[in-house]
Chain A
Amino acid sequence: MNQEHQQADALDAFLDAYRAGEPVTPPTVEAQLAADLVDLASSLQLAEPKPQPRPPTPPPFTRLGEKEAFMIAKRHPQAVSSPALPLIAVVLLILFLGALLPLVNQPTSAPPVQDQTRLPIPVGGRLSSVDPTALNLMRDAGMEWAVFQVEYAQTDSEALIESTRALINSVHQQGFRVWITLSQGRSTAATGELFTPEEGFDHYAEMAGQIAALGADALQVWSEPNLSVSWLNQHPDPANYVELLRVSYEAIKTANPATLVISAAPAPTSAQAAFGSDQIWNDDLFYQAMASFGADYADCIGVNYLEGVLDPQQTEGDPRDNYPTRYFVPMIQRAATPFRESGLPVCLSEYGYLAGEGETLPQLFEWANDTTVAQQAEWLAQGIQTAAELSSVRVQMVMLYRVDPTGDIVEDGYAIIREDGSCPACDAIAALKQ
């Protein structure tokens, strides 16, 4: 190796050491210049984006008119109904429909849970298939709900309904209640069609109503509505989302009043200022906007918590930063606060801890490398207990993000059933049974 190569290697090693803060002396004038440039670079700071304390107000409900009319219509439908019908005709119509609907939409239902001991709060988890082994582990742990994500499709609706019918019946036969998250599908995205109040909401609501009629015990309307990627890359708009929730709620309750309607959980994020509200809304601002636009078209407010590296009692000390979404209770409070007035409870729709133990997680998920499976189990159980005992917020249900392994390293890191078939979290949760 000639002298210049040696100098190049020495410079490279010096640069890495200097940047790492090691006490090194520059071996050459080039290394001294490199050190000066590193110092200079570190003094250059990207300005913190200005916070947006109030969400920009998008034009709400352009299709329906003013928000006030919208709210009046919700609470007093007769006040905005078109031609006034004679009172007796309305009464007869209501009585007729009331008698007819149960006959038309006879939903299947889950058998009552046999176990006399119960968890302190209803718990379930998301599965990739109706796997009796996984369901047995869940049952032994005291869980009552099975969660499935169904991709909404603007086309091929019949196939979607038929496959969902089979799914719901199968889960009910296993003695579990069914939670369906009807989310944006990739097949929908591939069509390039718009998904807007004018172009798709009524169809989505129709699908949601049909799934409710099949006996879904809970239906979550959409997912991560604060991201443009959830809207075929159109701007995320809380007013639009509330409109989707409204038409879906009405369709679901008409088809099956027993089906719980859960609002979509915004993705926890602080990236709005960086990306702009045409790409991302911060989850707290999205919740606030939902509440201001009348998001009480739900039985429960969906909340996700998936980024914890500390036990659920902690409210500070996260090694990454102290952003509230890092912590379990602050995350729940952040979501629930805007709905305090309406009294809506919170449903944890995706709750999980990524456990990197024994695996090398992809770079994006390295923050979970040190979380062990034992910690995952312990923290999940603690979180369930904590949610049940929260006095500031009423938490109605807790759904675990991933029950069964799927072969994907990240998804499996969240899964409570590990690759060897064991389920330490099931044991920890079972210990909560009262």
Chain B
Amino acid sequence: MDEHQPDEGAALATRANPATFAQVYRQYAQHIFRYLLTKVSNRQDAQDLTAQTFAAALQKFDGYRAEGSLAAWLTVIARNHAVNHYRRSRHEIALDDEMPLFAPATEEIVGQRLRMANVLAALERLPEDRAEVIRLRIFGELSTAETAQVMGKSEAAVKMLLLRALRDLRQSLKLEESEP
């Protein structure tokens, strides 16, 4: 073998860096951010964790071999960062009135039907796997197959879990609305 022949696995990873990383970021950053926002309930933390997720993804790119879904792979990295974030800070949910989670315009747009702060609070009251399936499937925009991959469940189980999670969330939101 020629001594200068490159390792092709490494070549793929190397090619992935320049040619695609900005594109990967553009394609998935919003999904990862929204998923993380529902995990940490704090916009600034979610933004920081999104940046950390992509920085870690860049470092770990040798480990990604295009065998599974890239979105699922990124989401697992994001989830691990969120877990570490909790461990480090023992973070308390910060829904401070003086520092609104979202710009007023955003709240006005969706305020007629759902308020994000209420959704976050309602998610907190759900069993973890039911909250997680909503975060992944709806806010993270993962497919059923990708959600199943991240959660380690079958696709049928994910579908059923989502149905039940939405039922619970609906009840939880009603509670939220009825509270003063």
- Which residues of A are interface residues toward B (Cβ below 8 A)? 4-5, 7-9, 11-12, 15-16, 19, 29-30, 33-34, 36-41, 43-47, 128-130, 148-150, 163, 167, 186, 224, 227, 229, 233, 267-271, 274-276, 279-280, 304, 306-307, 320-321, 323, 325, 354, 362-365, 367, 406-408, 410-411
Given B16, B69, B119, which contacts A37 in the complex, CB threshold below 8 Å?
A: B119
Q: Name the segment of B20-28, B83-91, B92-100, B124-132 touching the other chain.
A: B20-28
Interface residues of B in 121-167 (CB under 8 A from A): 134, 137-139, 141, 143-144, 156, 159-160, 162-163, 166-167
* A407-B18 in contact (CB<8A): no
> How far apart sit A129 and B10, CA to CA, in the bound complex (Å)?
17
* A227-B17 in contact (CB<8A): yes
Q: A128-B2, A307-B19, A411-B15 are in contact. Are A8 and B159 (CB under 8 A)?
A: yes
Distance to closest chain B CB from A283 (angstroms): 9
Interface residues of B in 2-18 (CB under 8 A from A): 2-12, 14-18
* A150-B51 in contact (CB<8A): no
Residues of A within 8 A of B116 (CB): 40, 44
Given B22, B69, B143, which contacts A363 in the complex, CB threshold below 8 Å?
A: B69
B70 interface residue per 8 A CB criterion? yes
Residues of B within 8 A of A267 (CB): 17-19
* A30-B18 in contact (CB<8A): no
B169 interface residue per 8 A CB criterion? yes
* B163-A33 in contact (CB<8A): no
* A279-B138 in contact (CB<8A): no
* A12-B162 in contact (CB<8A): yes
* B54-A407 in contact (CB<8A): no
Q: Which 9 A-B pairs have the closest CB atoms?
A: A267-B18, A362-B66, A129-B2, A408-B8, A46-B33, A30-B166, A8-B159, A8-B163, A270-B22
* B18-A321 in contact (CB<8A): no
Interface residues of B in 52-67 (CB under 8 A from A): 54-55, 58-59, 61, 66
Q: A233-B59, A408-B11 are in contact. Are A46 and B19 (CB under 8 A)?
A: no
Q: Which B residue sits closest to A45, measured CB to CB? A: B30
* A15-B17 in contact (CB<8A): no
* A150-B138 in contact (CB<8A): no
Given A9, A29, A279, A306, which contacts B55 in the complex, CB threshold below 8 Å?
A: A279
Starting from the known contacts A44-B139, A267-B19, 8 additional A-B residue pairs (CB-CB under 8 Å) come to: A5-B159, A11-B166, A30-B170, A34-B162, A36-B113, A40-B110, A167-B3, A410-B15
> How far apart sit A202 and B96, CA to CA, in the bound complex (Å)?
55
* A163-B33 in contact (CB<8A): no
Given A8, A45, A275, A367, which contacts B23 in the complex, CB threshold below 8 Å?
A: A367
Could you show 20 A-B contacts with beta carbons less than 8 Å apart?
A5-B156, A12-B159, A15-B138, A30-B166, A30-B167, A33-B173, A34-B162, A41-B138, A41-B141, A43-B106, A43-B109, A43-B110, A46-B29, A269-B18, A304-B18, A362-B66, A363-B66, A364-B66, A408-B12, A410-B11
